[in-house]
Amino acid sequence: MSKFAEKHPKAAAWIREGGLFIIFSYVVTFFKYLLLTFLPGFFTNLVGQVEWTWPGIQVEMFGVPFTLAIIGNSLADGGLAFTLANYTSIFLGECVNFPLQRNVTFRSHGPLVPQILCHLAGTIGVMLVMNLFTCIWNPVTAAFGVPDAVRNIVTTIATGGVAMVIIFAIDKTIFAPGFGEKK
């Protein structure tokens, strides 16, 4: 690998960074999956059965009615308890992911606050799009008899995969040498 790195330093850097990024992302995704397995029950005990959605538009797909939401979940999809569990798992996962990617994968020494804010903005954007996906995916697949465990695995892999691609592009930019420096 060292001969390859000498001949193709940019390609070697992409392979190293991409490989580490994927490994760390999968570990964090597994951590999020574990949290999503147990946190909805915990939050249900705290907040009860409460629907919390925005914009909360009633739609139908494949004969299955559901509530379209960018933020939150209908009661049929876990309501406020699942929303809190999902957002908690994302937040805790990124508390692990961000320092690993910054310090190990990209070896960045750039300005921490702008990097955190850019990473946070990207994570929130991804989270909103993925919530829209799950508000459709969960009720439609549940109506067709897909077990909860399978739905959770697919949701975690799909949302994690999309998030990985988008966040990698963001991280590649914000952790690059020279990010945040005056030009």
Mean pLDDT for the stretch of residues 60-83: 92
In order of 4, 12, 39, 159, the CA distances from 8 in angstroms are 6, 6, 46, 33
Give the model confidence (pLDDT) of 29-70 as tens digits: 889 889 999 999 999 999 999 999 999 999 999 999 999 999
| Host domain of residue 80 | 2-174
In order of 1, 43, 70, 86, the CA distances from 139 in angstroms are 48, 20, 15, 16
Helix then strand then coil, in percent of the chain rounded to 5, is 75, 10, 15
Give the model confidence (pLDDT) of 10-35 as tens digits: 898 899 999 999 999 889 988 988 99
Check pLDDT > 80 for residue 169.
Answer: yes
What total of structural domains would you count in the chain?
1
6 domain residue, yes or no: yes
179 domain residue, yes or no: no
Per-residue model confidence (pLDDT) at position 68: 92
Per-residue model confidence (pLDDT) at position 45: 97
Give the model confidence (pLDDT) of 129-148 as tens digits: 988 988 898 889 989 999 98
65 domain residue, yes or no: yes
Query: E strand or H helix at 170, and its extent?
Result: helix 148-174
182 domain residue, yes or no: no
Per-residue model confidence (pLDDT) at position 100: 96
180 domain residue, yes or no: no
181 domain residue, yes or no: no
183 domain residue, yes or no: no
Residue 89 and residue 37 in contact, taking contact as beta carbons nearer than 8 Å: no
21 domain residue, yes or no: yes
